[in-house]
Amino acid sequence: MLNLLSIVIGIVFVLLLFSLLATTIMEMLAGLLTLRGKNLINALQSMLGEREAKMFTNHTYFKQMGEKANMFRFLRKAPLPPSYIRPGTFTSILMDILQVNTTGEARAAIENLPDGKLKEVLEYLYRESYDDITVFRKKVEEWFNEVMERASEWYVSNVRIWLFYVGLTIAVSFNVDVINIYTSLSANATLREYMADAAEQFVQTAPEPVAVDSVVANPDFYKAKEQFSTLMNENIAAIRSPLGLGWDTVQWPTENKGQWWLYKLIGWLTTAIAVSLGAKFWFDLLRQLVNMRSGASGGQAAAAPATPPAPEPPLLTKPGSGLFKGAQQRAPKRIKPEEEEEE
């Protein structure tokens, strides 16, 4: 039971690290491609229509809220669209476009709109306001809030799709095959226990990740770039060699090639689907599994205190990186059979 739990912990730990990597890449892409601002533009187009949306985005107040480009300034002359606007801001710009200040102007402006969804919605909201311009503005704000709630849900769903393809790219590039990882952990007891200890240390020291939609809602490109470097050079670099990740040590099949590639494809797709769940999901799951393992190993230690010394685990990290330093210090020195006979 404990061996199976250690295998699961090792797999979840690997998925957590690559989920963090995928989320970091997604944050960089969200900032670079201004996905949040484009989502706002799409929501405005669905609400106002093509012509009115263009007038809205060309409004001086909307342009003034635009964000300056941090990356590729020489390619981005115009300001980037804002990530969000307040309901009151939306209403003020819309009223200015329609040239509405009083109740009578609101009725005339709505009647002069071309036939379409915008005119029908504003006519309905105006009827609900009972010819009161103040109530009408509040109704428009409520309409904006409802549309943006659906737009946010669509944005999160779209990010999940992006995250799946990012995860699939990572799985193929690093050869993160869940089936192969399971095979390696099942066959190597030393590696299995060592990865479980490393996962426990990671859970105790690493900060809890936030949800994916929270990360990409307000992306920080430079912070994500720094985290990307840390994950690649320390965490992931420490587990690539012992787990056989990458393409350097792949043993290409000489027979049953179709079956081999089928297993690879299943393993990559499983990794991509797992990554799309987000790092927070795997971190919470890993923390629960580590607590279960600690309780199970504590019970075994009480029942059988005189256990033989565990073999020294292989070096899983570069000297000085410190990722698995605690596990190395805890590993007792292995006594060779020749020394036992001499004693």
DSSP assignment of 12-29, as one string? HHHHHHHHHHHHHHHHHH
Q: Tell me: the pLDDT tens digits for 39-50?
A: 888 999 989 988
Contact assessment for residue 68 and residue 62, using Cβ atoms and an 8 Å cutoff: no
Can you give the pLDDT at residue 316? 41
Rounded to the nearest angstrom, the gap between the alpha carbon of residue 192 and the centroid of all alpha carbons in its chain is 27
Q: Tell me: the pLDDT tens digits for 305-332?
A: 444 444 444 444 333 333 444 444 444 4
Structure tokens at 16: 């957590």
Can you give the pLDDT at residue 69? 52
In the structure, how many helices (H) and strands (E) does the chain have? 17, 0
Per-residue confidence band for 157, with pLDDT thresholds at 50, 70 and 90:
confident
- φ and ψ of 106, to 5 deg: -65, -45
Per-residue confidence band for 113, with pLDDT thresholds at 50, 70 and 90:
confident
Selection from 187, 177, 174, 202 nearest residue 325 by Cα: 202
Rounded to the nearest angstrom, the gap between the alpha carbon of residue 206 and the centroid of all alpha carbons in its chain is 16
- Asked if pLDDT for residue 108 goes beyond 50, the answer is yes
Instruction: Domain ranges for the chain, please list them.
Output: 2-32+156-299+313-335, 35-155
Q: Helix, strand, coil proportions of the chain in percent (round to 5)?
A: 70, 0, 25
Average pLDDT (128-136) is 87
Q: Residue 67: beta bridge partners?
A: 80
Contact assessment for residue 198 and residue 327, using Cβ atoms and an 8 Å cutoff: yes
- Asked if pLDDT for residue 18 goes beyond 90, the answer is yes
Structure tokens at 178: 């869940």
More confident position, 327 or 280: 280
Can you give the pLDDT at residue 8? 92
Q: Tell me: the pLDDT tens digits for 98-107?
A: 887 666 678 8
Q: Tell me: the pLDDT tens digits for 186-203?
A: 998 889 888 988 898 898
What is the SS3 assignment for 65-92? CCECCCCCCCCCCCCECCCCCCHHHHHH
> From CA 109, how far away is CA 112, in angstroms rounded?
5
Contact assessment for residue 24 and residue 227, using Cβ atoms and an 8 Å cutoff: yes
